[in-house]
Chains A and B, each alone.
Chain A
């Protein structure tokens, strides 16, 4: 059963809020549902505090704080019984911190639940797993998430990177338009930016004179930076991934884990959980691949009755295959 962690953000900046939103989605893929609460009276388990905001410092000094506190600041902050993260906070770091602190502090977290019970306050309902229906363009700050949003909602988006570099996304046809050079485009893939929805009229006039290029040209690079393990398209970890076509791997950004997963899916449709169990590849990387598959329209997640995790036999030759793979990795003759 999924657990629900209540997190109280205190004095966070807009960007930190966005990162928290991404992390919340990510954690739901790790069987931890997070509810972001607005008020200290809602018995939060974890407080995520901006150590550079005055409300943040006030909170840390107040008598009744959450049992687990994470402080974000430019220089590491010690004391207050808090875990410190440096600014700018990264998705991976925040996800890891929440997950670890949640696991390590179960005793004090359970105490919160008990106190809550004695105050006879209704327990918060576990929230359903997040789907992306509610995600708005304005919340999107990386190109990968913009590609996912454009694709899953079949939208027209403008993604503005730094230095005003704009990329126009046509989610219906899986194409993008930009006048950028390869290098500048690469930078947009790897930096934060801002997305904005465009109506068909403004979109058509914006793309005038620009060449259409496939999402495939940018998705692989963008996925390395963005969306950060966010499981997209309402998919669940135990949905079966069905491959519609083998993705076209680029020569650059080719990740061996991705080619391996893709190859496995050509033989047997499997869930992310099954892939994790049978390949040993980290869930983050698997989700990254799934997201690319959604953007490229080559993968589809289908709900399934079958919940148990199948162990692949690799045919009768599992041991042999592993030995050959090992031999190839060492790299034979050059």
Chain B
């Protein structure tokens, strides 16, 4: 990663739309790549490789914004810490059609707590069309109880404009740092 480059992390449970979302943004077809942990951090010398989504967005001056999708399974959660290093912020996708979306959200908010506090995050509730329940209301309530204020939208992770909205909103959050 060149010095001026940056990255945005996409996280969420299995099937929540991470690959779809990155595809909407990426200049190249999304690749499922083996990321070498030793690339990402000097501190961690063991070269564990884990498959994750990768794409990028190139800016007019040639700078790259790398887009990483974390592997959905929790057994790779040690990778998340490594991946987030130097990241701009987090897009958290929650699948409305899974049995307990609120528990999913809280799990990821805990796992990325430090990163979110240092940068920012936005939540996209995906696959709303496949759920009968008011998942937005449920997650909003859970955020209020947790005392955390994060932008949240219902999205279709396959739609460019929806994914764009998530990233634009994340940028707005980051821009409001005093």
Interface residues of A, Cβ cutoff 8 Å to B: 243, 245-246, 248-249, 251, 254, 256, 259-268, 270, 278, 310, 312-315, 317-318, 320-329, 331-334
Contact = CB atoms under 8 A, between A and B. Distances in A.
Given A246-B150, A251-B154, A317-B6, A263 B60 contact: no
A252 to B, nearest CB: 12
B178 to A, nearest CB: 5
Interface of B: 4, 6, 24-27, 57, 59-61, 63, 65, 88, 120, 122, 136, 140, 143-144, 149-154, 160, 164-165, 167-178
A246 B178 contact: no
Nearest to B144: A245
A268 to B, nearest CB: 5
Contacts of A317: 6, 88, 174
A263 B61 contact: no
A256 B143 CA distance: 23
Given A327-B59, A332-B25, A256 B168 contact: yes
Contacts of A327: 57, 59-60
Main secondary structure of the interface of A (DSSP, over half): helix
Contact of B143 (A245, A249, A263): A245
Q: Which 4 residue pairs are nearest across A and B when measured between Cβ atoms?
A: A263-B172, A264-B176, A267-B176, A314-B175
A328 B168 contact: yes
Contacts of B65: 324
Contact of A315 (B149, B169, B174): B174
Contacts of A314: 174-177
Contacts of B168: 256, 259-260, 325, 328-329
B22 to A, nearest CB: 12
B177 A260 contact: no
Contacts of B60: 323, 326-327
Given A246-B151, A312-B176, A320-B6, A259 B169 contact: yes
